[in-house]
Amino acid sequence: MNITQTVFTIRGMHCASCARSVEVNIGKLGAVQSVSVNLAGESAAISYDADTLSPKDIISAINKLGFKASLPSADSADEETSALKREKTKLCIALIFAGLIFIIAMGPMLGLFRLPSFLAAPKVLTMTQLILVIPVIICGFRFYTSGFKSLFRGSPNMDTLIAVGTIAALSYSIYSTVLVYKGDQHAVHNLYFESATMIIALVMLGKFLEKRATKKTSDSVRKLVSLTPNTATVLRNGIETEVKIQEVEVGDIAVVRPGERIPVDGEIISGTTETDESMITGESMPVSKVCGDAVIGGCINRTGFIHVKASRIGKDTTLAQIIRTVSEAQASKAPIARLADVVSGYFVPTVITVAFISAIVWLIAGKDFPFALSVFISVLVISCPCALGLATPVAIMVGTGNAAERGILFRNGAALEHASKTDTVVLDKTGTITTGKPTVTDIVSDIDADELLALAAACEAGSEHLLGEAVVAYAKANELYTENAENFEYSVGSGVSAVIRGRKIYVGNKAFVKNHGRFEGVAAELAESGKTSVYVADDDKVLGVIAIADAIKDSAVECISELKKRGVSVYMLTGDNERTARAIAAQVGIENVISDVKPNGKSDVINELKKQGKTVCMVGDGINDAPALAASDVAITVSSGTDIAAETSDIVLMKNNLLDIPRTIRISAAVTRNIKQNLFWAFAYNVIGIPIAAGVLYAFGGPLLNPMIGAAAMSLSSVTVVTNALRLGKMKF
């Protein structure tokens, strides 16, 4: 099997029942593994066997359900904007004509004014309202096409409720109009044209405000998409040629001038510069780049003129991978949404049943048909499956978008929810707490420190050992002149020696040099701090000791301090020996140290912590951490920012900054809290609103809900949920 996940764009979904219909029906296709529909994002993440099923087959199946499916394209944002403009035009027309009907029908009743005598005539009044209804029906016709199609398919949705309610009102109004023309002048009081049109107009207003608000939830992805240049300047036969970005091939040399965006991932082969990687990694400071350094497509070339050799293009670039990761996360669902999914499957049929029962009960209780019809319509239009369907996805979309702008990539909604429950964080040492690169930390010498370092670097210049490379790199960083060494010799596992200015110099461990006692105590103290001592000596004596250690990341201490303040237990899990591990742990403030653990044993440690009832978040950076990452409740990978696709974790930290770990937990907690608020509002609204619409308050002497007020309240509930979720986009975390 070739399991592939693809995100499809789906237009025409209007409520949770629509989303549920897509999930249930597409999930029945034989080769489909899973379906997760995002109502707010108008998308669906579908996993399927690509050997059996093609995207075209899935699109066809979705279209048969009455929706319009497609693969995402660069024009999606433009299409969305155009659709919103069309909706705005229809809304304005509907509001104008519905408003005229309302003024004509309700103005005199409210004592606002008296109609002219010719317009007040029953026949003219009914016909005027009937004519004014037509533009409103045309503007809101999609409620009827969508609503009745869904009803006939056996999966009624919100549009069904609006369609059935307004058709009932319009049908009775037309019947009353006929009676008026037959001579029954009192039938003019049984017109519901104003209710039907105002319901349509108010629901259209609510959907427009909702769509305009949810459009903002995709801003982060749109910003990322906009980073991709449309063209690139490449060298073809030595001549600069501008080509479409799709025509750039691996190995092409791209010419990038100051101020331009780098078109592809690649390596600088000529020139130096500084790049702005803020929109990719969240890193605000410019990053210096020289020949041989990797650059990320989409970033801005700030200062220098450079030539970049393309290594990854199209969908393989870092930017494309980030966009795909964020889009898939936004299309996914959090476990907390399961209750809403279950409810939405039964919601609309239940509401229709309640509406019919309520109307029948009032008829039996002795009320007239217009009263029962008003109750029937009110129950239908106040019910809001939209709020249920939007409660989770809008919060996830805004939360993951906000996180992505800060260089934190959530892969799915489940990770976004689970991270908030974390009470134990397990950190790998090398490459996570530390930089993963040895560096010189101390020099203790009987001679000048620079001279000792220069001698050691001259000897190590021909070495490929990590410690030797650290010495050479440190000497270069301090701009020390190193002389050429002669007669270089390498002793495996011990050290190196060479002749410098006729003097034999030895650089290595204490067993490799003679008379090391002078500095043995110093080396022991350095070892207690987790540092490795490299002795430098000549034929007569030891000249000094150079201490080398894997440097601790600047953000480590503050990160661990913040986690502790949140009540999170912090562990260090490493394959290093206990003395080195505890030395590093002491420097960053970690008390719980688990050392001498092989890669395949790390997962056992995670499982043991989980057995103790802990919710474990594992943070690592390498392949050797994969078993532990897989075993944890939440897996976080500290990334270099250039290899997103290879990561198998739930969350990727693009900035390589440990402070993003507590920030991830804060974002997760805020999004989860927001989802709970939205779900509470959606459920509470329906639990309270439907009985009121059914006439419960009226039965005890209270008011009867007007259908128009019900429609306005229904629209308000959806807008409230979306607006609450949009607050996440403004939080700083």
Of 159, 252, 265, 428, the active-site residue reads 428
Other CB atoms within 10 Å distance of the CB of residue 550: 23
**SS percent in the chain: helix, strand, coil, step 5:** 55, 20, 25
Identity at 552, one-letter amino acid code: I
Mode of pairing for the β-strands spanning 3-11 and 43-49 = antiparallel
**Per-residue tokens: 529:** 């701090």
Coil/strand/helix, residue 556:
helix
Q: Distance from CA of residue 362 to its chain's centroid?
A: 49
Cα–Cα distance list, 717 to 204, 223, 271, 378, 383 (Å): 14, 29, 57, 15, 10
- Sequence-distant (≥ 6) Cβ neighbours of residue 578 within 8 angstroms: 593, 595, 596
Question: With b meaning 16 or more CB within 10 Å and e meaning fewer, what string describes 296-326?
Answer: bbbbbbbebebbbbbbbbeeebbbbbbbbbb
- Sequence-distant (≥ 6) Cβ neighbours of residue 616 within 8 angstroms: 422, 424, 425, 426, 606, 609, 610, 632, 633, 634
Identity at 9, one-letter amino acid code: T
Identity at 206, one-letter amino acid code: G
* Domains along the chain with CATH numbers: 3-74 (3.30.70.100), 225-316 (2.70.150.10), 396-433+553-660 (3.40.50.1000), 436-551 (3.40.1110.10)
Phi, psi of 536 (to 5 degrees): -120, 125
- What span, in angstroms and rounded, lies between the C-alpha atoms of 486 and 496? 12
Q: Which residues pair with 10 in a beta bridge?
A: 69
Evaluate whether 386 touches 719 at the Cβ level (below 8 Å): no
The more confidently predicted of residues 204 and 114 is 204
Mode of pairing for the β-strands spanning 294-295 and 265-270 = antiparallel
- What span, in angstroms and rounded, lies between the C-alpha atoms of 683 and 61? 31
The whole-number pLDDT of residue 151 equals: 84
Q: Which of 510-524, 575-589, 638-652 has the highest mean pLDDT?
A: 575-589
| Per-residue pLDDT band at 613 (split at 50, 70, 90) | very high
Identity at 184, one-letter amino acid code: D
SS3 sequence of 64-97: HCCCEEECCCCCHHHHHHHHHHHHHHHHHHHHHH
| Per-residue pLDDT band at 421 (split at 50, 70, 90) | very high
The model's pLDDT over 308-342, given as tens digits with 9 standing for 90+, comes to: 999 988 888 888 887 777 777 777 777 777 777 67
Select from 179, 178, 146, 191 the least CA-distant residue to 164.
146
Select from 430, 244, 378 the least CA-distant residue to 689.
378
The model's pLDDT over 75-132, given as tens digits with 9 standing for 90+, comes to: 666 677 788 889 999 999 999 999 999 888 876 666 566 767 666 788 888 899 999 9
Cα–Cα distance list, 415 to 334, 610, 636 (Å): 8, 17, 10
- Sequence-distant (≥ 6) Cβ neighbours of residue 349 within 8 angstroms: 156
- What span, in angstroms and rounded, lies between the C-alpha atoms of 309 and 270? 9
- What span, in angstroms and rounded, lies between the C-alpha atoms of 583 and 579? 6
- Sequence-distant (≥ 6) Cβ neighbours of residue 470 within 8 angstroms: 437, 438, 439, 440, 548
Where are the strands (E) in 356-433, listed by range? 408-410, 424-428
Coil/strand/helix, residue 620:
strand
Tokens 């039996």 map to which residue?
364
Question: To 10 degrees, the CA torsion angle through 26, 28, 32, 35?
Answer: 50
DSSP assignment letter at 24: H
The whole-number pLDDT of residue 560 equals: 95
Phi, psi of 494 (to 5 degrees): -125, -55
The model's pLDDT over 632-675, given as tens digits with 9 standing for 90+, comes to: 999 898 875 445 544 567 888 888 789 999 999 999 999 999 98
What is the CA angle 340-342-346, rounded to 5? Answer: 105
pLDDT at 516 over 80: no
Tokens 């795909």 map to which residue?
324
Tokens 């690592």 map to which residue?
620
Terminal C-alpha separation, the chain? 42
The model's pLDDT over 338-369, given as tens digits with 9 standing for 90+, comes to: 777 677 678 888 899 999 999 999 999 999 99
| Per-residue pLDDT band at 402 (split at 50, 70, 90) | confident
Coil/strand/helix, residue 212:
helix
The model's pLDDT over 222-272, given as tens digits with 9 standing for 90+, comes to: 777 777 888 999 998 888 999 998 889 999 999 999 989 999 999 999 999
Instruction: State pTM to two decimals.
Output: 0.75
Phi, psi of 71 (to 5 degrees): -85, 145
DSSP assignment letter at 384: -
Any idea which of 178-192, 279-293, 474-488, 710-724 has the lowest mean pLDDT? 279-293
Q: Which residues pair with 617 in a beta bridge?
A: 425, 634
Evaluate whether 566 touches 546 at the Cβ level (below 8 Å): no
Evaluate whether 453 touches 475 at the Cβ level (below 8 Å): yes
The whole-number pLDDT of residue 642 equals: 46
DSSP assignment letter at 642: S
Burial class (CB in 10 A: 0-12, 13-18, 19+), 644: buried
Mark whether 428 is an active-site residue: yes
Sign of CA dihedral 623, 627, 630, 631: negative
